[in-house]
Structure 1
């Protein structure tokens, strides 16, 4: 029994230290940019020896990979929870819920947003297949779900929507097509355009580029979201 308690305590302490290392890495990135993520700098901030931190992450790239996986998973969890809580028969509500959850998460986790969507870590080499392929594709599939729900009202593809399956990544299609078999290639393109419109303003806000232009970035985002919903032929709500 004593040995079991000791093992459990060691595992708990290791998990707490691992979480602190990750949090410190994001704080360093927030204050000093991606160059600031080094194991030695993290060890110094935490009062650890450099050798001790290598017992948690053998290399800086291992740490960055773990961070990216955590961040993508947290984002996917946040937007999926918001979308699932919206009425299933109201695609406009689903888009609004997903969009506000995405913006809220990005503003509350700006360092994580910058890590996965903005500032590359110099010299970082992701493992084969990517740092977080499953979580990243969960986000993409969720956006495809927004397009799939809106597709019946979004209208027939026009001349500018003459897409084929060859226009998209096979890995993405391997997730999207089974989940939404009725969504045509133009629907996948619509999903990416929705993503671009929502991501653009959020990115500007996270990086502080809207501060000098508007005192109401939330109203600006809301107006863009309302226009997006109208452009899809959906009720604004």
Structure 2
């Protein structure tokens, strides 16, 4: 075997082991909660020594940071793709597509959803700038794009809005204002309202609370979304 071939095999095996470590970490979190993610527990599940797993992730926080970045990026990719695939001239369809992609991704990746939107991992310290700054920015911009699409139809509903820029976190504004410099504070508030509608129902479904109440949670989600679009005055085909 050539030196290059041996290096390629080692790199492939390392990538496979790294992927398995991340999968086991998410499985442990699903069964035992966020504090179940420990390198020693993962090593036990994989039949590795603790020292061996430290060769892949020096600390538990390093692993959690990678997991959050992977999960958040996958979500951002899913909703961005849905938004771009929907016709730009039809804001109702674009809002529907983004929302459906968000729910679909969350249901297909419940452990990932819990990692980024559920209880924090105890004792975890994110690196400066956050664990997934680019993905977080993309999702924030995507949500604000929903409000921007609805704003021409809904702005008359917010003529008496008392929201000011100082009412919002500077980190949020740093993400969305450069992308939508024409939007007023009330439109950012609208983006958070839309987020509340989507996130609330999806969270109940991911955590299993919705299934005890209805056999058709997807129908409830779709009707809530349709009602939201109608309330905002966005024309729907």
Please give the TM-score of this superposition, normalised by the length of structure 2.
0.96
The aligned residue for residue 235 of structure 1 is 235
Matches within 5 A, 1:56-95: 56-95=56-95
Distance in 1 between the 2:133 and 2:118 partners? 17
Distance in 1 between the 2:172 and 2:141 partners? 8
Matches within 5 A, 1:160-175: 161-175=161-175
The aligned residue for residue 120 of structure 1 is 120
Deviation per residue, 1:15-48 (Å, 9 max, x gap): 1111110000001111111121110111111111
Name the SS for the 1:144 alignment partner.
Answer: helix
Distance in 1 between the 2:2 and 2:165 partners? 59
Matches within 5 A, 1:35-50: 35-50=35-50
* Deviation of 1:137 (Å): 1.6
The aligned residue for residue 96 of structure 1 is 96
Contact residue 155 and residue 233 of structure 1 kept, 8 A: no
The aligned residue for residue 12 of structure 1 is 12
Distance in 2 between the 1:5 and 1:142 partners? 43
Structure 1 segments (4+ residues) deviating >4 Å: none
RMSD: 1.3
* Deviation of 1:179 (Å): 1.4
The aligned residue for residue 184 of structure 2 is 184
Deviation per residue, 1:155-212 (Å, 9 max, x gap): 32243x2212222222322231221122111111111110111000000000011122
Name structure 2 gaps, 5 residues minimum: none
Distance in 2 between the 1:206 and 1:119 partners? 13
Name the SS for the 2:116 alignment partner.
Answer: helix
Contact residue 82 and residue 101 of structure 1 kept, 8 A: yes
Alignment of 1:53 with 2:53, yes or no, is: yes
Distance in 1 between the 2:11 and 2:178 partners? 39
The aligned residue for residue 220 of structure 2 is 220
* Deviation of 1:108 (Å): 0.5
Distance in 2 between the 1:92 and 1:220 partners? 18
Please give the TM-score of this superposition, normalised by the length of structure 1.
0.96
Name the SS for the 2:211 alignment partner.
Answer: coil
Name the SS for the 1:140 alignment partner.
Answer: helix
* Deviation of 1:124 (Å): 1.2
Contact residue 39 and residue 53 of structure 1 kept, 8 A: yes
